[in-house]
């Protein structure tokens, strides 16, 4: 999914004679370049890993260098879900609902041993691997991962985004689970969850 090796895109041709400069490039490349460098993360911090995520976002490690300084605390305005910390079973349906409210194209990073595998919490309360609930693009090992590790994961994600092809829509198709499975939440329900509240504007997935 998006990881096929493609030739490096030819970037720019400039005509110095014409004062109205123009460039040619592949649309794919331009769009991906834009996307990869302005990913808006939705931090889903559930435990200690979130502290390390905060450090990553703060001035010392400065996530803004990757175009990610704008944290989207609304899933409807986010591109990448960063799950930092363990996911208890009670949170599983919540996480699922948050994921479903995010518009395509969207990506997910699982940060830390707990989110990725349950980590040391092999007990009755913790989901053993977040990928049993939502699809994950990059797993970050560590307990907690250092900010450098998270940044590395983000750069890997950027590479993945750069390799996206418009002709191959597979990566952008919403993976709707089988309606008979517990993962399935009807679109009407998701719309209802994203209902406007207070002074917010309508931001439903279905665009109503």
Where do contacts with another protein occur on this chain (CB under 8 A)? Answer: 89-90, 92-94, 96-97, 122-125, 127-128, 132-133, 182-183, 192-193, 195
> How many C-beta atoms lie closer than 10 Å to residue 124's C-beta?
7
Local structure of 87: helix, strand or coil: coil
Q: Exactly one of 76, 119, 139, 140 binds ligand SF4 (CB under 6 A); which one?
A: 119
The smaller minimum CB distance to another protein, of residues 40 and 184, is found at 184
Site membership for ligand SF4, residue 48 (CB under 6 A):
yes
Contacts of 98 (CB under 8 A, 6+ apart): 42, 44, 75, 81
Contacts of 208 (CB under 8 A, 6+ apart): 191, 202
Site membership for ligand SF4, residue 114 (CB under 6 A):
yes
Name the binder of 86 from ligand SF4, another protein, none, CB < 5-8 A by kind: ligand SF4
Separation CA 115–CA 111 (nearest Å):
6
Q: Which residue is nearest to ligand SF4 (CB)?
A: 114
Phi, then psi, of 140 in degrees rounded to 5:
-110, 120
Name the binder of 96 from another protein, ligand SF4, none, CB < 5-8 A by kind: another protein
The smaller minimum CB distance to another protein, of residues 97 and 165, is found at 97
DSSP character string of 106-137: -EEEEEHHHHHH-TT--STTB-S-GGGTS--S
Site membership for ligand SF4, residue 47 (CB under 6 A):
yes
Residues at the contact surface with ligand SF4, assessed by CB under 6 A? 47-49, 85-86, 112-114, 119, 143-144
């Amino acid at each position: 999914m998006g990881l096929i090796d493609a030739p490096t895109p030819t970037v720019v041709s400039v005509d110095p004679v014409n004062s109205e400069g123009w460039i040619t490039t592949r649309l794919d490349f331009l769009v991906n370049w834009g996307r990869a460098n302005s990913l808006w993360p939705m931090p889903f911090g559930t435990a200690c890993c979130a502290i390390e995520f905060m450090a990553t976002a703060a001035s010392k490690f400065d996530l803004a260098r990757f175009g990610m300084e704008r944290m989207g605390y609304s899933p409807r305005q986010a591109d990448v879900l960063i799950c930092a910390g363990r996911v208890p079973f009670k949170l599983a349906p919540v996480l699922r609902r948050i994921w479903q409210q995010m518009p395509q194209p969207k990506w997910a990073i699982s940060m830390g041993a707990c989110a990725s595998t349950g980590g040391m919490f092999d007990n009755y309360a913790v989901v053993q691997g977040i990928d049993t609930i939502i699809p994950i693009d990059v797993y970050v090992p560590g307990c907690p991962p250092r900010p450098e590790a998270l940044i590395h994961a983000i750069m890997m994600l950027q590479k993945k985004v750069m390799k996206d092809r418009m002709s191959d829509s597979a990566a952008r198709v919403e993976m709707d689970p089988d309606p008979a499975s517990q993962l399935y939440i009807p679109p009407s329900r998701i719309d209802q969850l994203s209902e406007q509240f207070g002074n917010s504007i309508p931001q439903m997935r279905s665009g109503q």
